[in-house]
C-alpha cells in the first residue's frame, strides 16, 4: 500500500512540475516558483486524472487499490490483512505544496479520506494470554 501511495505522490509531483507544453491536456504552464499556480492550476486538478489512470502516459488507475496479502509480524503478534481494497484517492486535497529549485526538492502535504475494507487474521499474546481473531474490517482514515 505504501508503494502505491508513494507512486501516486511521485506521479502527482512529476505532473505538476511540467512547466512547458505537455502530452497531458490538463497540465497548465506555470512560472518557476509560482506555488499558487502549481497548487491551484495543476496539482488539485491532476488528482482525479491520476486516480483514473492516464492512458497516454501508461499510468494505471489507482482507484481502487487492491492488496491481496499484507503481513505485519512483530514477534509477539502477527496481523494478516487479506483482499484489502482502498478507495478515496480521488478525493485527496493538496494542503501544501512547495518546490525548492536550488535543492531540487518538493514538499507536498495531502489530506486523503481513504477507506479500506478486507479481512484480517490476528494472533498474538498480551501479558501471557493468547489472543486470536479473524473478521472483516472497515477502516476510515480522514
Structure-model confidence comparison of residues 21 and 48, the more confident one: 48
User: In the predicted model, is pLDDT for residue 41 greater than 80?
Assistant: no
Residue 116 gets the label, from left (phi > 0), alpha (psi -120 to 50) or beta, of beta
Structure-model confidence comparison of residues 27 and 121, the more confident one: 121
Distance CA 116, CA 140 (A): 7
Q: Which residues contact 126 (CB under 8 A, 6 or more apart)?
A: none
CATH topology of domain 2-141: Bactericidal permeability-increasing protein; domain 1 (3.15.10)
User: In the predicted model, is pLDDT for residue 34 greater than 60?
Assistant: yes
Ranges of each domain in the chain: 2-141
Distance CA 78, CA 135 (A): 14
Residue 44: half-sphere exposure toward Cβ, Cα within 13 Å: 11
* pLDDT above 90 coverage of the chain, percent: 32
What is the model's pLDDT at position 54? 81
DSSP H or E segment with residue 47: helix 44-52
Amino acid at each position: 500500500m505504501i508503494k502505491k501511495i508513494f507512486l501516486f505522490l511521485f506521479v502527482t509531483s512529476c505532473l505538476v512540475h511540467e512547466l512547458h507544453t505537455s502530452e497531458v491536456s490538463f497540465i497548465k504552464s506555470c512560472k518557476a516558483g509560482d506555488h499558487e499556480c502549481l497548487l491551484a492550476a495543476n496539482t488539485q486538478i491532476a488528482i482525479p486524472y491520476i486516480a483514473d489512470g492516464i492512458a497516454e502516459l501508461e499510468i494505471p488507475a489507482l482507484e481502487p487499490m487492491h492488496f491481496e496479502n499484507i503481513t505485519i509480524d512483530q514477534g509477539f503478534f502477527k496481523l494478516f490483512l487479506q483482499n484489502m481494497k482502498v478507495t478515496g484517492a480521488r478525493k485527496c486535497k493538496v494542503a501544501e505544496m512547495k518546490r525548492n529549485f536550488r535543492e531540487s526538492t518538493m514538499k507536498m502535504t495531502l489530506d486523503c479520506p481513504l477507506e479500506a475494507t478486507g479481512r484480517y487474521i490476528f494472533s498474538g499474546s498480551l501479558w501471557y494470554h493468547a489472543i486470536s481473531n479473524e473478521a472483516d474490517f472497515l477502516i476510515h482514515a480522514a
